[in-house]
Structure 1
Amino acid sequence: MSRHNIQVWHDGLEQKETRVTGALWFETVLLPGGWADRVRMAEAGGKIAAVEIGAEPQQGDERVPIGLPGLPNIHSHAFQRGMAGLAEARGHTDDDFWSWREVMYRFVDRLNPDDVEAIAAQAFAEMLEGGFTRVGEFHYLHHDLDGHAYADPAELSARIAAAASATGIGLTLLPVFYAHSGFGGAPPSHGQRRFINDPDRFAKLAQAAKAACAGLPDAVVGVAPHSLRAVTPDELALVSQVFRDAPMHIHIAEQVREVEDCLAWSGRRPVAWLLDEAGADARWCLVHATHVTEAETGALARTGAVAGICPVTEANLGDGVFPTDRYLAAGGAFAVGSDSNILISAAEELRTLEYAQRLTRRARNVLAGGAGTSTGRTLFDGALAGGAQALGVSGEGLAVGAPLDVVSLNAESPSLIGRRGDELLDAWIFAARPGAVDRVWRRGRKVVEGGRHVAAEPIAARYRRTLEKVLAD
């Protein structure tokens, strides 16, 4: 892999890097116990060493008007950032996920390892600018253009790790096991050749991916059977044991056709089959789960698993709407992800999650926790806790011992003026224009300043060169 390019990026980032030298002093900040004013937060080794409430700023402290914990992005296919907007012309037949997938196959056929790294870095930088400080990378692009494995089976996993290192985002890497094109072990298609593994080859790849992430601070490596249509029951059981204590993610029940095909294969709907046969528990994240019955919704909530909802992508693909209101009422845990990276913004994902419920229920503040409760706070707290669970990290927020992952909102943003407490979250999620995120610290290192990643220019320049080459006909 291209160590030279990685070093160039690292040099550009290191030159601009700003670490917390004194402490961060917040006029107001969301702590685990709620909003607090005049808070001084000290850092050591990338973690929060002390939190003092009602404190005065000291010389050398950086002042932050509004502070929030960084949010987890639980589901990303980073390479798809490069094809954002390329599937928006209607085809000759009904346009849906399956026609979008053909565009994706054609795009991925053009990518070499350098391209994957450049696109991932752009996506990760935009995530940090949008309020996400950790990403769950559902990584299924493994092999060379002809479908053969690279000499290093984790070549492309290492490129994802390099992009995470260069941008500073926290990484939970989820190597994907993908073996079939449909339920019952159907042979893979030509367009899937770069994704496909058998269980033995996947076990080696997953171990190599773990080694590729070893140099990243607080990286987590989990495992991800792609979907019930891409693995057999025996393969699912084997893959679930690869990292038996690590996060386990799976696409499920995203489209109506998937549900119909699963019924034809097994006599059960996908979520019902998974809950009956695979023993989903708190280490599982069921991504999308869009098409679930009322009984499945309650059963999923009771497992302690996380529903990984990707509202912007699900809207873009026309997938449907997860019944989040019923799921939360049943005590279910949820998180949000940017999936296809058609548009990357933590606030946009949370806003779209609530707005989808308003449109289908014809009501307002559907996901608020009760009368007088802030919808923004309910969404934020749920996405923070569920996202941390799904990505295998602490979900306590800005507490002593936790990573110093902080998002600063711009107090001069017109939508935030005069707001206090949970009103700030409501205004950021539902009313603020792009640019409301001002600064971001990840493990005490400032990675966003003035709304832009500190290495935005070199990252964007390489991304531009990559896309000009990849999309040239």
Structure 2
Amino acid sequence: MGNVREQTGPRRIWARAALTADGWVEDVAIGIDSEGRISEVVPGAAPEAERRGVILPAPANLHSHAFQRAMAGLTERRGPDPRDTFWTWRRLMFRFLDRLTPEDVEAIAAFVQMEMLEAGFACNTEFHYLHHQPGGAPYARIAEMSERIVAAAAETGIGLTLLPVLYEQGGCDGRELAPGQVRFGNDPERFARLHEAAGAALAALPADARLGVAPHSLRAVTPGGLAAAVALVAGAPVHMHLAEQVAEVEEVLAAYGARPVEWLLDHADVGPEWCLIHCTQMEPPETLALAATGAVAGLCPITESSLGDGIFDGVRFLGAGGRFGIGSDSNIRISLCEEFRTLEYSQRLRDRSRAALATPDRSTGRRIFEDAARGGAQAAGRGAGSIAVGEWADLLALDTAHPDMEGRRGDTVIDSFIFAGGSGIVTDVWSAGRHVVSEGRHRGREGIVSRYRATLARLGEVL
């Protein structure tokens, strides 16, 4: 595909309709400057040479563990226990990752990022915790695995927010890391060096790349480690797994005398820079308290369904003004529209309702899409999330000639994309002005797929 910098504007794109920061606009010209930012949004414009049907803001994927993509389809059998659980899947994941080399991680990450772009995501927020060699010894370049994620982003052209993960212990009791966890482990001092080196690697990417931090979870970091990690990134994204599983809630409650959300809000200055992932095990007062912080709830509905995590209380959280975004997490299935659909349908199934997340002035699809685009950009620390002058030009175009789009206008365009169509309706994606998907295909697809196939063939049957 070549250097991603070469794919940036200036350019003008004309669309029959676009969902802008001011709502739906018809016959709109969108200008992109040489840095990849939106320079103008002109309604009622004459058609330009570069024409599309409908253009939407392309959301950021706010939570991904890239390497887990290569596990998709390999963990759908019962474990040794009568009742299969998240913890059985976790043990299988540890066995798998012990085989991965830096070259494997780069090939898998490029494939994942390509699929994200083709699905309509413009940014990959990588919650990156696979740091060291098998056995736990650091690589000669301590941030080698972070460098591989950066190299994949340089190839694919996706926007990247890199979140090196601090992982200190095997549980709230301070026990040693298990064999499957040693590739993640760092104390705060070594982690600070790794984090600095990861930031240096990001300098090779365009200006929209961001560096944040991810204290893994209350189980995996000490209170002191949490504070040290947050101190590394004043004003930058802070992400953390929180209240995903019943067993996790019980462990934190036993160790700290409070449930995870309650403890974190009492002991950390949680605000708009924070993104708390999953939060599927919250009591109503916790849901309201989290919404009031301005932090983003990072929802991964496909993975949460796959692992049996539970259902996020979206109706209550959004009703209280809470902010959310969408991530693909385990990457078992990378589909923007299916994540949205799964979120909405989970609310309907729980409450026996319809149009659970719609509002009087916005349809279900539009509300989910708009709020997730804004929340995802916030979580990624990315000046994007809407079509407005000065924002990064993160855009996606839909095929209005598709049968499911026949006669659709306004909010029903998004409803049809999410609930009737699918990723095949996405024709183009621009990430900070880089035109990386055209006619539904990533421009570097052939080479990326070839390397991914070779990686899977080398890994063989590991589970």
User: Could you state the TM-score of these two structures normalised by the residue count of structure 2?
Assistant: 0.96
Say whether residues 1:34 and 2:23 are aligned partners.
yes
Instruction: Output aligned runs, 1:172-251, within 5 Å.
Output: 172-217=161-206, 218-251=208-241
Aligned match of 2:447 in 429, 437, 458?
Answer: 458
Cα pair 1:135 1:170 within 8 Å, conserved: yes
Where in structure 1 are there 5+ consecutive unaligned residues?
Answer: 1-8
Instruction: Output aligned runs, 1:15-414, within 5 Å.
Output: 22-45=11-34, 46-58=36-48, 61-93=49-81, 94-217=83-206, 218-370=208-360, 373-395=362-384, 397-414=386-403
Counterpart CA distance in 2 for 1:307 and 1:427 is 25
SS state at 1:320 partner: coil
Counterpart CA distance in 2 for 1:95 and 1:404 is 44
SS state at 2:270 partner: coil
Match for residue 2 of structure 2?
10
SS state at 1:106 partner: helix
Q: Which amino acid aligns with 1:116?
A: V
Counterpart CA distance in 2 for 1:328 and 1:398 is 22
Cα pair 1:183 1:265 within 8 Å, conserved: yes
Cα pair 1:297 1:326 within 8 Å, conserved: yes
Counterpart CA distance in 2 for 1:327 and 1:236 is 25
Deviations 1:63-119 (A, max 9, x none): 001111111110000111111111011123121110111111111011000000000
Aligned-pair distance for 1:472?
4.9
SS state at 2:175 partner: coil
Deviations 1:300-350 (A, max 9, x none): 111111111110000000110011101111111111100000000111111
Q: Which amino acid aligns with 2:153?
A: A
Cα pair 2:26 2:44 within 8 Å, conserved: yes
Cα pair 2:59 2:385 within 8 Å, conserved: no
User: Could you state the TM-score of these two structures normalised by the residue count of structure 1?
Assistant: 0.94
Q: Which amino acid aligns with 2:244?
A: E
Q: 1:396 to 1:441 in 2, by over 3 A?
A: closer
SS state at 1:24 partner: strand
Q: Percent identity?
A: 53
Q: Which amino acid aligns with 1:62?
A: E
Cα pair 1:29 1:35 within 8 Å, conserved: yes
Counterpart CA distance in 1 for 2:427 and 2:354 is 29
Cα pair 2:336 2:423 within 8 Å, conserved: no
SS state at 1:291 partner: coil
Q: Which amino acid aligns with 2:179?
A: H
Range that drifts further, 78-87 or 44-53: 44-53
Where in structure 2 are there 5+ consecutive unaligned residues?
Answer: none
Counterpart CA distance in 2 for 1:447 and 1:250 is 30
Q: 1:247 to 1:433 in 2, by over 3 A?
A: closer
Aligned-pair distance for 1:244?
2.0
Aligned-pair distance for 1:19?
5.6
Aligned-pair distance for 1:172?
0.5
Q: 1:115 to 1:10 in 2, by over 3 A?
A: farther
Point out 4+ residue stretches in structure 1 off by more than 4 angstroms.
17-22
Aligned-pair distance for 1:10?
3.5
Counterpart CA distance in 2 for 1:124 and 1:270 is 31
Aligned-pair distance for 1:20?
5.0
